[in-house]
Amino acid sequence: MVERRHETAVVDGHRIHYLTAGDPGDPPLVLLHGGIVDAAGVSWGAVLEPLAREYRVVAPDLLGYGRSAKPDVTYSLDTHVDAVAAFVETVGLERPAVAGISMGGGTGLGLALRSPELVDRLVLLDSYGLGRELANGGLTRLLSKQGVTNRLAIALMRRSRGFTKASLENIVHDTDRLSADAVDAVWAEAKRPGVGTAFRSFRAAEVGPEGYRTDFTDRLGGLDTPTLLLHGEFDEVFPHRWSERAAARLPEAEFRLLDDCAHWAPRERPDAVVDLISGFVPR
């Protein structure tokens, strides 16, 4: 039976907690989670052990999230790219495959563009960094300038598992099909001290007058890293046309549209995610 282990590394003076599983001699696979209320075990909890049967899986809590350090910094996408690059080198991972969801996808893509020698293959799930348009336009822009709504939502999530599950309707196509473990993971994470701070900083840094500030679309033609783009059919956070457009611009890419899925593929369609990653990343 494959079991996950909790490890820590000191990266640029900050403690980074990570989950790892699998044989150290197997090909390395780094999993990067998203924002809002997230951590390695939240988004990747259902797929980590199955993937570890074939890979050495390493899933960090990004800086400001989970059990990792929460320094007083601006949590822009560049901040996360810097931290993950240093993490990969500190832990001693040699050209791992990198899979990231949402903000983690943008981080993985930014890493591959900046330091292609560090990334063997790339898997982007419902990824940030592939377009500028805001899902809710002016409302998203307004929310990026104030944190009251996010703080209130997290406070209500801490009090109520039911409210936590209902909140996931924003990223899940059918919450009734979610496992109890998925809901419990988010509910537990919502109770962690300091949760939400990094996301509010990220949103403030990444949302500008013209939309999202980070858009790698025009740079994709120069990325030679083989890339698999997975996107939920019903994703209302980032439209699946972003991933389709990116796949057409990348020199070596595949695109898969996931049915019955919105923005949280590793929890909504864990079996499909495991199969698609296993079929794409060499073992």
- Give me the chain's average pLDDT, please: 94
pLDDT tens figures, 34-66: 999 999 999 999 999 999 999 999 999 999 999
pLDDT at 1 over 80: no
Host H or E run for residue 124:
strand 122-125
At 3, list the tokens: 């079991």
pLDDT at residue 140 above 70? Answer: no
Return the bridge partners of 254, or none: 228
Q: Per residue in 94-103, pLDDT tens? A: 999 999 999 9
Burial 141-166 (b: 16+ CB within 10 A, else e): bebbeebeebeebbeebbeebeebbe
Say which residues have a Cβ less than 8 Å from residue 45's Cβ, sequence separation at least 6: 181, 182, 185, 267
Which residues form the domain of 171? 5-280
Largest Cα separation within the chain, whole Å, is 50
* Per-residue burial over 246-257, b = 16 or more CB atoms within 10 Å of its CB, e = otherwise: bbebbeebebbe
pLDDT the model gives residue 255: 98
pLDDT digits (tens, 9 = 90+) for 105-130: 999 999 999 999 999 999 999 999 99
Whether the per-residue pLDDT at 210 is higher than 70: the answer is yes
Compute how many other C-beta atoms are within 10 angstroms of the C-beta atom of residue 23.
12
Closest CA to 207 of 116, 141, 142, 135: 141
Find the mean pLDDT for residues 231-238.
96
153-173 pLDDT, tens digit per residue, is: 999 999 999 999 999 999 999
pLDDT at res. 121: 97
Catalogue the E-assigned strands of 14-63: 14-21, 28-32, 56-60
Number of domains in the chain: 1
Q: What is the CATH number of the domain that holds 41?
A: 3.40.50.1820
Q: Rg (Cα) of the chain, in Å, rounded? A: 17
What per-residue confidence (pLDDT) applies to 220? 97
- Kindly indicate the confidence band of residue 283, based on its pLDDT and cuts at 50, 70 and 90: confident
Quick one: pLDDT at residue 149?
81
